Copies of this chain bind each other. A is one copy, B any other.
Amino acid sequence: MASEHTAKAFDSDLQELTRLVAEMGGLAERMITESVDALVRRDVALGKRVVASDVEIDRLQHLIEERAVLTIARRQPMAIDLREIVGAMRVATDLERIGDLAKNMGKRVAALENDFQPLKLMRGLEHMTDLVQTQVKSVLDAYAAHDLPAAMAVWKGDEEVDAICTSLFRELLTYMMEDPRNISFCIHLMFCAKNIERIGDHATNIAETVFYMIEGQQMLDKRPKGDMTTFATTLPNS
């Protein structure tokens, strides 16, 4: 960037982008909490509020993308400055997906009609959500503070989330086999557990974006991921 004027204009653009990402992050965090609260308490109205919030998160993503592109075109930033802008766009994409996943859980609240309410399962879901919520919060803090070690801690922590998800799946499967009347309820919870696990995946994506912004290259390491898809093979078939 040639002049001091351009540099100042760029800084102000970047600040505004970072503020928008923080706003979007706050909204995503709230949607995660509220969607799981709605599930656990069977609060259909709260579920609907989560669904409604998704419009705002989509709006913010488009706004961030628009501003980011205008900043690149106007200020022609290079190196780290350019990566900051691309980073904001990438984080916004992940937050938008997190909003979608929370919205999907919010929608399911209305479908959970019967009285089956196994406390242990719900506690498991809440525990998993707390973990993922902490991951999302920590990685957004790491993004705002350009704190690479904190981002890498989130990246590594995802394994624990996957392990809890697998154990929750096993438990749900047991309930389903015990009594067919539990099946449709348990399927909804499975999709919810899977959604929460995927929210965790988006937290690790954001950690990878922090790495890219600071180090100037993509992370090549593959995450040590607990492979959930094989859960069924570890179970007896009857």
Residues of A within 8 A of B (CB): 62, 65, 69, 72-74, 76-78, 82, 85-86, 93, 104, 107-108, 110-114, 173, 176-177, 180-181, 183-185, 187-188, 190-191, 194, 218, 227, 229-233, 235, 237-238
Contacts and interface: CB of A to CB of B under 8 A. Distances in A.
A173 B114 CA distance: 16
A85 B114 CA distance: 50
Contacts of A184: 173, 231-232, 235, 237
Contacts of A185: 232
B229 A114 contact: no
Contacts of A76: 73-74, 76
Nearest to A77: B73
A208 to B, nearest CB: 11
B176 A230 contact: no
Given A173-B183, A237-B184, A230 B82 contact: no
Contact of A238 (B181, B191, B231): B181
Give 4 nearest A-B pairs by CB, closest first. Answer: A184-B232, A177-B180, A107-B229, A72-B72
Given A69-B82, A86-B69, A218 B110 contact: no
A70 to B, nearest CB: 9
A177 B182 CA distance: 10
Interface centre among A62, A227, A230 (most CB of B within 10 A): A230
Contacts of A85: 69
B65 A237 contact: no
A233 B112 CA distance: 7
Contacts of A108: 229
A41 B159 CA distance: 31
A86 B218 CA distance: 21
